[in-house]
Amino acid sequence: MKMFKHCLLGASLALSATTAQAAEFINVLTGGTSGVYYPLGVAISQLYDEHIPDSRVQVQATRASVENLTLLQKGRGEIGFALADSVADAWNGEKEAGFPAPLDKLRAVGATYSNYIQIVARADSGITSLEDLKGKRISVGAPRSGTELNARTIFKAAGLSYDDFSRTEYLPFGESVELMKNRQLDATLQSAGLGMAAFRDLASHAPVVFISIPAELVAKIGNDAYRPGLIPAGTYTGQDEDVSTVAISNLLITHQNVSDDTAYQMAKQVYENLPALRNAHNAANGIDPASAVDGLPLPLHPGAERYYREQGLVK
C-alpha cells in the first residue's frame, strides 16, 4: 500500500512538472503606476490569464517605451506598450534615441490608443505658452524614456533646448506632480493618454494651465508619428477650453520568439474585449480595431497577422 501511495505521489509530481513546463509565461510590460500603460496592462493581463489556456501572466511596471522595447529584444517580456516614434527608432537603431543597434527581434501586435503630449504648468508660474517656459523649472520625463524623447522633439521644433530652462528634471508623472504640488517645479511635459491619474490629481490640488502646441509646430517636426491632437475641454478640473497638442499612437509590441498561437491570442483578446479595457481606463475609448494595423513601423508578428487576416484587416 505504501508503495502504491509513493507511485501516486510520483505520478502527481511528474504531472505537475509537465504542466509547469507546458505553461505559457506572459510578462506584460507597462509603465509607471500613475500613468495609463499600467492600468491597461493590468486589464490585459487579466484577459490573458482568463482566456489563454495554460498561461502564467504577470504585469511589470517599467519606465515605459524605451525600457519596454529593450526588454522585449532581450526576451525579458512577451508584450509591452511603446510609442510609435520610439518603436521606429528602436527598429532603425537610432543612437540618439538610445538604440545603438536595431532591435531586430521586435514584432508588432497592433496599434491601440493615442498618447497626447501634455504640458501642464502651475497657474501661478505665469506660463501660458511654450515661449514662457524659458527660465522656468521643468520636468521632461524619465531619462531616455519615450516621453523624454518626445520632449526633445517638441522643444527643438519650438526653438527651445534644455539650456533655456533654469532647471531640468528627468522624472516620470508621479514624481513630477509631487514637485509641482510642493512648488519645486513650474511645469512638466508628459506623454500619456487623456485623463491620466497624476494630472487629475494635480489639477484638483492647485490651479493649472495646459500649454498649447499649435498644428503648425507639429507640421514643422516632419515625423509621420506626430500628428495634431486635442485635449478636449473638461478633461481635467479647471480646463475649460480645448487645448491643441500632439498625438502619437501607442503600439503593443512583442518579439519573434513568442509562439504564433500566443501572439494570435494576445491580439484577439485585446481587440475583442475592449469594454474590459475601457473599464480600466477611459484612454481605451480611443482603441479602434479597424486601425490596429495602420502605420506600423515594423512587421506584424505572424500570429497577430493571422488574427487580422481572419478579421479582413490584412489582405
Domain boundaries, the chain: 26-113+250-310, 116-248
pLDDT on residue 22:
58
DSSP code per residue over the chain = -HHHHHHHHHHHHHHHHHHHHHPEEEEEE---TTSSHHHHHHHHHHHHHHHSTTEEEEEE--S-HHHHHHHHHTTS-SEEEEEHHHHHHHHHT-GGGT-SS--TTEEEEEEEEEEEEEEEEEGGGT--SSGGGTTSEEE--STTSHHHHHHHHHHHHTT--GGGSSEEE---HHHHHHHHHTTS-SEEEEEE-TT-HHHHHHHHHS-EEEPP--HHHHHHH--TT-EEEEE-TTSSTT--S-EEEEEEEEEEEEETTS-HHHHHHHHHHHHT-HHHHHHH-GGGGG--GGGTTTT-SSPBPHHHHHHHHHTTS--
Residues 153-173 have a mean pLDDT of 96
Same fold, 26-113+250-310 and 116-248: yes
116-248 carries CATH number 3.40.50.2300? no
Q: What is the pLDDT of residues 249-294, one digit of tens each?
A: 999 999 999 999 999 999 999 999 999 999 999 999 999 999 999 9
**pLDDT value at 307 more than 90:** yes
Average pLDDT, the chain: 92
**pTM surpassing 0.75?**
yes
26-113+250-310 carries CATH number 2.40.30.40? no
**pLDDT value at 309 more than 60:** yes
pLDDT on residue 16:
41
Q: What is the pLDDT of residues 134-158, one digit of tens each?
A: 999 999 998 878 899 999 999 999 9
pLDDT on residue 18:
39
Confidence of residue 1 (pLDDT cuts 50, 70, 90): very low
